[in-house]
Structure 1
Amino acid sequence: MTTASLIGNLCLGSAPDSWGIWFPQDEHQTPYARFLDELAEAGYKWLEIGPYGYLPTDPKVLAEEVGKRGLQVSGGTTFGALHRPGEWAEMLAHTRKIAELTAAAGAHHLVFIPTMYRDEKTGALTESPELTAPQWASFGSRASELGKILLDEYDVRLCLHPHADSHIQTQAEIERYLNESDSRYANLCLDTGHVAYGRGDNIDLIRRYGERIGYVHIKQMDPAILDQVHAENLSFGEAVKRGVCVEPPAGVPNPAEIVTELSTLDARLFVIVEQDLYPCAPEVPLPIAVRTREYLGSCGLSGTTRPGASA
């Protein structure tokens, strides 16, 4: 593929997930210093913070560790259960800490991942995969309330991330979330791989809900393993172990088509590489990260300029 012209409204970055990082601490994960070293070596300039506690949570230490490698932070990451009113206070307090760190790092986006209804390591169900009508109402209103707090107090925008084994997984669930939340405060982190995992249509979402897309994770899934997921009712953890997340351009959706469609939006967006690799050998991520950056660069994605903080 010949090198494409760089697309001005899109900025490429990566995340700890692409180094097999799912947890703040885990014996199977590479130390954060090696992740940062290899991220810079791979040619990326922007990174997402990842699970709170993996990278330093002291803003000064984080700034030093990131800055001395020529890196910058694109956004923060957190999990939460917006459909459980009894957990609101605790979740809000935790989210505030992450928003504070995100803002201190100079970033303006918080990727919010709904709590999964399966245990991440065992795959066992921890609650019903379906929300009730009252839970849906709580989800939409709480997302809007949280988004307003983050924007008003931290200048950080809430971008909810559809995720496998969560209640925002299928396209119908994504659309219901968007329709039941306030577009001023609650928007979408379009994760192309998780949309494909839930049998959704990324291009359709971009075309119909482009104004709600505030941030992007670019990811690919192996269609053969997706068929196994649906045939065998596999957990996402098991699917990852089988290799459902693949290096572009080997899977679905087509990254070049996604980049082309995103380039039509009237918004400046971070496009963050994620390839779920947990657990993986320490030597695995770096060569993949280099090849992925080079491939996405050939699609027109660059990491040299900073998008604005518009929703």
Structure 2
Amino acid sequence: MSSIVTRARLGSAPDSWGVWMPDSPLQTTSTRYLDEIAQAGYRYMELGPYGFLPSDPARLADELAQRDLRVSAGTVGGAFHRAEELSAITKDALDVARLAAAVGATYLVLLPAMYRDLLSGELVEGRQLDEDGFAQLVRATEEVARVVREETGLRSVFHPHADSHVETQQQTYKWLEATDPQVVGLCLDTGHIEYCGGDSAEIIRRYPQRVEYIHFKQVDPAKMSVVRDKDLGFYDAVQLGAICEPPGGVPTAESITREMWRLDPEIFVIVEQDMYPCHPDAPFPIALRTASYLRGARLAR
């Protein structure tokens, strides 16, 4: 079946260049990111944190055209489980979606808030939502998806994330069962699912009609044992090297390739290797090797 998957569209994201913030002295510049993602052979990319790349659509379109780059999606995060946050999340989502739509994107990726402080790893709320909280998260993701579609035409996909209230395979299934497939799809991030002990290939087998967008990353099983034993937060896990360069971890590209025949043959496969912070010279050679590896594994073209 793997011979079918030659039309999936391979891209990457600022995340793979160590970019987590709109602006940080620990990050590479937006110009260098754009130059290097194009030089690495990727033709598709995400916008990353709003404000990292130019927010003026004409200027951004010009920067992309100079490098023959195309945008697959924008991303926005928020505490969807808190009703009082919905208005602010919707505004942020529309800001990102309008920019993404103006430069030809197809999707908006919705990220749930983390229950730990991103940098310190300290718990800022409970690890589990009660039923009311989970129901609110579902309502809010659907509401934001509807507004974004009506106002910008972008399709929204929800991204389960480590240290969030939808992080495990079972929590992902629960979200899928509770949401309307006509309203919102799933962004399957292979690294975050495996980070939490899940099986990304099994999610594709069970819910192929819901997997509309893929973030590909791998985790190092040995280092993930340390993360679990020490109950490390995501930032510390990244510093440890738990999110590793392919093909050094799981899931393998081949395990995903075997299931890709079930999905849209032109699905976006966006590489995300969390590297914040990193030396500015580190991402480019990794990006070159990763693109070559994934094409060799026939995961995408």
Structure 2 length normalisation: TM-score? 0.96
What amino acid is the match of 1:288?
I
2:217 equivalent among 216, 219, 222 = 219
Q: Kindly tell me: are residues 125 and 18 of structure 1, through their superposed partners in 2, closer, same or farther at Cα, counting changes over 3 Å?
A: same
Q: Give the CA deviation at 1:153.
A: 2.1
Q: Distance in 2 between matches of 1:111 and 1:139?
A: 15
Q: Is the 8 A contact 2:208 2:262 kept in 1?
A: no
1:176 matched to 2:174:
yes
Q: Distance in 1 between matches of 2:73 and 2:173?
A: 23
Q: Distance in 2 between matches of 1:256 and 1:136?
A: 34
Q: Per-residue CA shift, 1:138-196, capped at 9, x if unaligned?
A: 11122122212222221111111111111110011111111111111121100000000
2:204 alignment counterpart? 206
SS at match of 2:76: strand
1:16 equivalent among 14, 17, 20 = 14
1:145 alignment counterpart? 143
1:306 alignment counterpart? none
RMSD: 1.3
1:70 equivalent among 63, 68, 71 = 68
Stretch moving more, 105-114 or 140-149: 140-149
What amino acid is the match of 2:169?
Q
Structure 1 length normalisation: TM-score? 0.93
SS at match of 1:138: helix
1:46 matched to 2:44:
yes
Identity %: 45
Q: Give the CA deviation at 1:282.
A: 0.8
Q: Is the 8 A contact 1:9 1:263 kept in 2?
A: no
Query: What aligned pairs does 1:147-296 form with structure 2 within 5 A after superposition?
Result: 147-266=145-264, 268-296=266-294
Q: Distance in 2 between matches of 1:35 and 1:61?
A: 16
Q: Kindly tell me: are residues 113 and 164 of structure 1, through their superposed partners in 2, closer, same or farther at Cα, counting changes over 3 Å?
A: same
Q: Kindly tell me: are residues 15 and 231 of structure 1, through their superposed partners in 2, closer, same or farther at Cα, counting changes over 3 Å?
A: same
Q: Give the CA deviation at 1:5.
A: 5.8
What amino acid is the match of 1:106?
G
Q: Which runs of 5+ in 2 are unaligned?
A: none
Q: Give the CA deviation at 1:70.
A: 1.0
1:105 equivalent among 103, 106, 123 = 103
1:307 alignment counterpart? none
The count of residues paired between Structure 1 and Structure 2 equals 300
1:308 alignment counterpart? none
Q: Is the 8 A contact 1:23 1:54 kept in 2?
A: yes
Q: Give the CA deviation at 1:84.
A: 0.3
Q: Give the CA deviation at 1:127.
A: 1.1
Q: Is the 8 A contact 1:10 1:263 kept in 2?
A: no
1:87 alignment counterpart? 85
What amino acid is the match of 2:243?
C
